[in-house]
Amino acid sequence: MTRSRPTCSVVICTRDRPADLALCLDSVARLRGDAHEILVIDNAPSTPATQNLVREYQTERRLRYVLEPRPGLDIARNRGVIEAVGEIVAYTDDDCVVDQGWLEAPLRHFVDPEVACVTGLVAPRELETRTQELFEFNYGGMGRGLTRFTVDFSGIRVTDAGKVGTGANMFIRKSALLDIGLFNEALDCGMPTKSGGDTYAFYKLLAAGYRITYEPEAIVWHRHRRDDESLVNTVYGYGVGVASFLTACLVEDHDLAALATGWNWIRYWHLSRLYWKSRGRLDFPLKLVLAELWGGLMGPWAYLRAKKVVSRCNLPANEPFAPSLGLALSCRNADAEVER
């Protein structure tokens, strides 16, 4: 018995990174198999550079440019899923380069109607500087190993959803995403929470009984941060993201399992690293360990602030949403205010 493979839309969310985006679009243009829609979501741009870049590519493929004036990665992702026509939405980031066969293996998994999401391997695109090596080998990188696995709510504590993958390489069934109520707009980059939006979506999918498959054949090459300062920011952002994700589980879903995950995270990630550092057995700068821990402490407040930002951006329900530059600017001002 054969069931046909589902259709797919590739969504790339970007914000003011035209140089990286050009590489990403080159790789997407080389993807095997055609008839895939490609959407570039330009998130609250400060210059028209991205739009001009996409115009250069427009001649070749079914590429579409979408402007999303409200800043926030999850807001852009939601815009992407609403604009997408495919049954499956494939997300990657603008600082990634996709493998030629990126779409093949994951789309096979979606033949199983219970699979709502497939995540893939995120490998380093370059290991030129010490910082990049640190991130990939000593921190753990963004990959999740080379073993394929499928989980559902019974195989994993659902709040441990971070284990199943990252948002830089994920495929989500559109209907399932609509079922769980899209991404949580208060999470991820562009918001005070800095990351965690992908994890929260995985969590919601698992809690709703869907299966998630990790498929190492789907490869995305990610350019890790080159210099120390931006790595500190990234790692701090991860700390904030995990803590705000757990806060979201507690606040939005009243899920006490988040407390267990939080405790494990502190105990087996932070405290044990601090212990090994104190014994001189950890080859990772203390600055980064502390940055992530500090981020973890800031996370819950960051989530509450982000919720305020989102509610200020959203129009009252009786007014139709009309994206305008003025609104975008007011949101960004609000964001900046909170950041200050």
Partner 1 sequence: MSQNGHKPFLSVVIPTHNRRDVLIRILEALFSQDYPQERLQVVVVLDDCTDDTELALNALNPPVSLEYLCLPKVGQAAARNKGIRQSVGDLIVFLDDDVEPAPGFLRAHASAHSPADNLVVQGYYPFSRQLKRHLHMLSASRWWERHFERLGQPGRKLGPCDLCTGNLSVRREHLMAVGGFDEAFGGYGNEDYELGWRLSIHGLEFRFCREALGWHHYATPLSKSLMRTREEARADVTYGRKYPHLKRSFRLFTLTQERSISRTLIRALAFQFPKLGDRIASRLLKLMYPLERLGLRGTWTRINWTLRRYYYWRGITDSLGSYRALKEYLGNDWVKHPAKTRTRVTGIDLQNEAAVIEGLEGYEAAYILVKNGARPLSWLWMRSADGWLGPSQIKEAIEAQAWAGVTRGGVEGVRLMRAFLPSIIPVQISGRPRPLSEQAQKVELNELSWR
If the CB atoms of residues 249 and 310 are measured against partner 1, the closer one turns out to be 249
Return left, alpha or beta for 127; rule: phi > 0 is left, psi -120 to 50 is alpha, else beta: beta
Member of 4, 35, 254, 317 binding partner 1 (CB under 8 A): 254
List of residues 6+ apart from 263 with CB closer than 8 A: none
Alpha-carbon gap, residue 140 to 134, rounded angstroms = 8
CA angle 69, 326, 184 (to 5 degrees): 35
284 touches partner 1 by CB under 8 A: no
Helix H or strand E segment including 19: helix 18-29
Instruction: Write out the binding residues for partner 1, residues 206-245 only, by CB under 8 A.
Output: 208-209
If the CB atoms of residues 208 and 282 are measured against partner 1, the closer one turns out to be 208
If the CB atoms of residues 113 and 140 are measured against partner 1, the closer one turns out to be 113
If the CB atoms of residues 133 and 152 are measured against partner 1, the closer one turns out to be 152
Place of tokens 């995120």: 122
301 touches partner 1 by CB under 8 A: no
Member of 14, 50, 131, 159 binding partner 1 (CB under 8 A): 159
Binding footprint of partner 1, residue count (CB under 8 A): 21
If the CB atoms of residues 238 and 245 are measured against partner 1, the closer one turns out to be 245
The residue range among 137-145, 151-159, 224-232, 281-289 that interacts with partner 1, by the rule CB under 8 A, is: 151-159
In one-letter notation, the amino acid at residue 3 is R
The residue range among 119-127, 135-143, 146-154, 222-230 that interacts with partner 1, by the rule CB under 8 A, is: 146-154
Member of 182, 251, 257, 290 binding partner 1 (CB under 8 A): 257
179 touches partner 1 by CB under 8 A: yes
Member of 256, 286, 315, 329 binding partner 1 (CB under 8 A): 256
List of residues 6+ apart from 93 with CB closer than 8 A: 12, 13, 24, 167, 168, 222
Distances (CA, A) of 28 to 25, 37, 57, 64, 224: 5, 11, 11, 13, 19
253 touches partner 1 by CB under 8 A: yes
Q: Which of 89, 101, 295 is nearest to 205 (CA)?
A: 89
List of residues 6+ apart from 148 with CB closer than 8 A: 213, 214, 215, 216, 217
If the CB atoms of residues 151 and 232 are measured against partner 1, the closer one turns out to be 151
154 touches partner 1 by CB under 8 A: yes
Tokens of 288: 């980064």
Least distance to partner 1 from the beta carbon of 206, Å?
10
Least distance to partner 1 from the beta carbon of 255, Å?
3
If the CB atoms of residues 10 and 81 are measured against partner 1, the closer one turns out to be 81
Least distance to partner 1 from the beta carbon of 141, Å?
22
Least distance to partner 1 from the beta carbon of 120, Å?
19
Using DSSP's 3-state secondary structure scheme, residue 106 falls into helix
- What string of H, E and C letters represents the secondary structure of 256-315? CHHHHHHHHHHHHHHHHHHHHHHCCCCCCCHHHHHHHHHHHHHHHHHHHHHHHHHHHHCC
If the CB atoms of residues 198 and 255 are measured against partner 1, the closer one turns out to be 255
Least distance to partner 1 from the beta carbon of 139, Å?
25
43 touches partner 1 by CB under 8 A: no
95 touches partner 1 by CB under 8 A: no
Alpha-carbon gap, residue 201 to 78, rounded angstroms = 11
Q: Please say whether the beta carbons of 167 and 197 come within 8 A.
A: yes
CB burial of residue 159 (10 Å; 0-12, 13-18, 19+): buried
Binding residues vs partner 1 (CB under 8 A)? 1, 113-114, 149, 152-155, 157-159, 179, 208-209, 249, 253-258
